[in-house]
Structure 1
């Protein structure tokens, strides 16, 4: 494991008026690991993601990428430095086709600018890359459909394709299986497994479904009322009384009395 974390937050904090939504969270994330961030509704999970990716400005604390302080950088500047974010609510161009959405992401990654209508006729490599991404998320047969007309589950898969197209060093997934049918979920989980298996990517996952967390995570961190309350091996964290109470709503005394 690299001595320098790929991503680190130090005392990361945000206040909205008198409410502390994320409270001095310090955590380091290394390449080749997948960390699940869990907690009850309102725990601060998505807010923490927004602070890391630059959608929100921290009240206090720092965000570091590869040891470099990026706290003052915009979300787009952080993306250029290798941070990739898939949102809880789909972040697509609804009036473009599925293929055009992926084309834009592929072209951006290739540094070819955004004049995609003029470039595609002589950039077969980029077309092939876009098609391969659509095949990976099982949307190739819908390449000409309008993104805004896709069912919610297909929109989530398209969003994953866009994130893969950017080839970031850090992948951030915010409930990637939300709204998907049971038969759609394995496609996304296999893709995330594949990213983790590369060994050089850092993956953060916000997820409510504990079966998904158990199948993917090397590590779990738990937020409760914006504070980091647990961090460690998935089995140990899930079994801890503080997590049972905060996340699962089971009081410690009930756990002790259980057979």
Structure 2
């Protein structure tokens, strides 16, 4: 068995007497898209926050490859190849749409202000950033301030920025939340394109079952902070415990 791209070992966090994530152990491989599902309050976003470094665990560890990254900051994890898109947009609101993506490209390349004084370097970075905007269908608003975009376009911009980071591991927390039926397919197409790269690992928190069925190679179910199911989509969604806690279907409903 190859070394997982990402692994959590007995990952736990307590807030006072409440255990929000309870000894979750799981591993993920390159080329795999895993959807994390569960009812509200199940611990999905909290587990994401532990993996990406926004929260420190009470117990347990996080590994990227063979490296223990439990003590690393969110920025260090991002540099190591863990890319995170949040449930709420996380942009530079006063900068233009293009500048938001350009800064990501510049940081990834390690290009400083002096290098940007060279026209060739500036053009190359701008062209790469525009490519990401075109894939997210945002090229027409490249010069708009990010704050001026409607919510759906802000979500698309954040995904474009995440792709521009070129991480090994992509983490999406309800990427289509608040988006219209017409807007959501753009995000899903971007995720589907990432999925074609078998070197990438994708984790997706989602509650829309059409999205889950369209994209998932594997489903993990959290309930009250515990990992209660893990496997192929059809197998997991057919489990009685999953139908009861996630779909609200009990035995009496199937009679």
* TM-score, normalization by structure 2: 0.97
CA distance, structure 1, for counterparts of residue 78 and residue 250 of structure 2? 41
Q: How many angstroms does 1:118 deviate by?
A: 4.7
Root-mean-square deviation (Å): 1.3
Q: Which runs of 4+ in 1 moved over 2 A?
A: 115-122, 252-255
CA distance, structure 2, for counterparts of residue 54 and residue 98 of structure 1? 26
Indicate the residue corresponding to 1:143 in structure 2.
142
CA distance, structure 1, for counterparts of residue 12 and residue 66 of structure 2? 19
Q: How many angstroms does 1:205 deviate by?
A: 0.2
* TM-score, normalization by structure 1: 0.95
- SS of 1:79's equivalent in the other structure is helix
CA distance, structure 2, for counterparts of residue 199 and residue 248 of structure 1? 31
Structure 1 residue aligned with 2:120, among 105, 119, 122? 122
Q: How many angstroms does 1:121 deviate by?
A: 3.7
CA distance, structure 1, for counterparts of residue 190 and residue 27 of structure 2? 24
Q: How many angstroms does 1:252 deviate by?
A: 3.0
Indicate the residue corresponding to 2:216 in structure 1.
217
Indicate the residue corresponding to 2:75 in structure 1.
76
- Contact map agreement 1:120 1:127 (CA 8 A) in 2: no
How many residue pairs match? The answer is 254
CA distance, structure 1, for counterparts of residue 111 and residue 4 of structure 2? 31
Indicate the residue corresponding to 2:6 in structure 1.
7
1:37 aligns with 2:29: no
CA distance, structure 2, for counterparts of residue 225 and residue 61 of structure 1? 17
1:57-95 Cα offsets, whole Å, 9 max, x none, are 000000000111000111111111110000000000001
CA distance, structure 1, for counterparts of residue 12 and residue 87 of structure 2? 21
Q: How many angstroms does 1:253 deviate by?
A: 3.7
When structure 1 is superposed on structure 2, of 34-43 and 189-198 the one drifting more is 189-198
CA distance, structure 2, for counterparts of residue 120 and residue 91 of structure 1? 30
Q: Structure 1: where are the runs of 5+ without partners?
A: none
Indicate the residue corresponding to 1:102 in structure 2.
101
1:190 aligns with 2:185: no
CA distance, structure 2, for counterparts of residue 203 and residue 109 of structure 1? 20
CA distance, structure 2, for counterparts of residue 134 and residue 240 of structure 1? 41
Q: How many angstroms does 1:105 deviate by?
A: 0.5
Indicate the residue corresponding to 2:21 in structure 1.
22
- Contact map agreement 1:22 1:47 (CA 8 A) in 2: yes
Indicate the residue corresponding to 1:178 in structure 2.
177
Q: How many angstroms does 1:117 deviate by?
A: 10
* Residues 117 and 146 of structure 1: CA distance in aligned 2, closer, same or farther (over 3 Å): farther
* Residues 243 and 116 of structure 1: CA distance in aligned 2, closer, same or farther (over 3 Å): farther
CA distance, structure 1, for counterparts of residue 213 and residue 58 of structure 2? 33
- SS of 1:24's equivalent in the other structure is strand
CA distance, structure 2, for counterparts of residue 143 and residue 248 of structure 1? 41
Q: How many angstroms does 1:227 deviate by?
A: 0.4
1:242 aligns with 2:241: yes
Indicate the residue corresponding to 1:161 in structure 2.
160
Q: Structure 2: where are the runs of 5+ without partners?
A: none
* Residues 30 and 120 of structure 1: CA distance in aligned 2, closer, same or farther (over 3 Å): farther
CA distance, structure 1, for counterparts of residue 200 and residue 31 of structure 2? 5
